[in-house]
Amino acid sequence: MYVSENLGTNEKGHLTIGGIDTVSLAEEYGTPLYVMDEQMIRKNLRRFHESMQKYYDNKGLVCYASKAFSCLEMCRIVASEGDGLDAVSIGELYTAVKAGFPMEKVGFHGNNKTDEELRYALECGVGHIIVDNISELHRLEAIAKEMGKKPEIMFRIKPGIDAHTHNFVKTGQIDSKFGFALETGEALEAVREAIACENVALCGLHCHIGSQIFDIAPFEEAARVMLKFIAEIKNELNFEIKQLNLGGGFGIKYLESHDPAPFETYMERVSKVVKSCCEEYKIAQPFILIEPGRSIAAPAGITLYTVGARKEIPNIRTYVSIDGGMCDNPRYILYQSEYEAIVANKANEERSERVTIAGKCCESGDLIGENMPLQHAESGDIIAVCATGAYNYSMSSNYNRIQKPAVVFVNEGESRVVIKRESLEDIIRNDL
């Protein structure tokens, strides 16, 4: 009935998450409020690493892409499941360090890492750095030399795959700010240079073809392209690439009509492609890394809001205004993303209207969605927006000097705050 399997209704007709009444959560912690189900986060991580065990003989590592949602507790949970982590900034690295994350299981990404970030990554002993471009290779080589280190690196490759997703999140094609191009020979030239470097150790190749991808075929195609390149490196340069990082981008259900392929099927089919290509090209099977972000965090989370004004514009539309908006969820204003919404205190009623849910910021585009089916919502009702666990808190802002909401985790019938709600004092804490 709902887009996420952890949502339901109780005897009061209230929406529940992980079995807990969302209306009570709104009363206890206030709104807007992010709520995430810890068991579902764990379950999602396990789906990936268990299918890696089953279909690829456990020769791999799942690295949660922490940009989807990062905080100390999230890092602790990922660590306790034995998985790795992906970081794209010094802030994400710092969070992992402070959470006591095993840094040898961390990969450091970014298309424009600063010297400060590279130094910090080496200091905290990240497992590998995914080098995006040739000038970064040169800077890293110099910094590693100066620090007396020899980090393992991977190269980010543009495999030239069209993943049929939103243009803004399509990253595998040649016109992208990320990575080295294959077609032009740029990637092979970079590999040649890296092999000659004394202070970095090239261990792998990486690709990430986009986000919110429902089909498996583009992932299979990317794996084929990457293995062909690994074979080319072996034949041309007599060098063995031992690790292949296939990135993230697995789609999730935001709407009932969405139909993403299950993770298990992805792993089964991609493992088959990897194994058969290795046989065909006579290369050893690489250690595989994957980097799911959205598919781990998004389905585990919801956002709760309180309804304020209701504005019916005859023959045009009805606006239902909430106490949050683009500050806590900028995905509509960025990508016109679609969500499912439910009036949490009327969850058993029909979604009999179609409304526009509007935020409280001074932007006309500050919406959660248009033409959304919803129960009749009035002032004081609680609205739950589903599948907001990824790229909501992590993309939130203080626009209009609005305080960021708290994040609450529910687990086995209990709830706890993992990120505090910002106070007014927090809003001016860096002002002089």
Closer CB to ligand PLP, 6 or 295, in the complex: 295
207 catalytic, yes or no?
Answer: no
Reading the block at residue 246, the tokens are 């296939």
Binding-site size, ligand PLP (CB under 6 A): 16
Q: Which of residues 106-125 bind ligand PLP (CB under 6 A)?
A: 109
Q: Which of residues 222-281 bind ligand PLP (CB under 6 A)?
A: 247-250
Instruction: Give CA separation, 100 vs 49, 74, 95, 159, in Å.
Output: 21, 12, 9, 34
Nearest Cα to Cα of residue 327 among 278, 369, 364, 361: 361
Instruction: Give CA separation, 62 vs 110, 248, 268, 326, in Å.
Output: 19, 10, 15, 31
Closer CB to ligand PLP, 260 or 369, in the complex: 260
Residues in the chain: 432
> Nearest approach, Cβ of 213 to ligand PLP (angstroms)?
8
Closer CB to ligand PLP, 96 or 372, in the complex: 96
Sign of the CA dihedral running 41, 2, 371, 212: positive
Per CB under 6 A, 127 contacts ligand PLP: no
Q: In whole angstroms, what is the distance from residue 197 CA to residue 360 CA?
A: 53
Question: What are phi and psi for residue 324, nearest 5 degrees?
Answer: -135, -145
Interaction mask 143-182, ligand PLP, x per CB under 6 A: ----------------------------------------
Whether 300 and 281 have beta carbons less than 8 Å apart is answered as no
Per CB under 6 A, 83 contacts ligand PLP: no
Closer CB to ligand PLP, 60 or 359, in the complex: 60
Per CB under 6 A, 47 contacts ligand PLP: no
Beta strand pairing call for 367-374 and 353-358: antiparallel
> Nearest approach, Cβ of 2 to ligand PLP (angstroms)?
21
> Nearest approach, Cβ of 334 to ligand PLP (angstroms)?
14
Query: How do the residues of the chain divide into helix, strand and coil, expressed in percent and rounded to 5?
Result: 35, 25, 40
Bridge partners of 111, per DSSP, are none
Per CB under 6 A, 393 contacts ligand PLP: no
Per CB under 6 A, 208 contacts ligand PLP: yes
Catalytic residue among 75, 197, 362, 386: 362
Active site residues: 362
Residues that bind ligand PLP (CB under 6 A): 65, 67-68, 86, 109, 208, 211, 247-250, 291-295
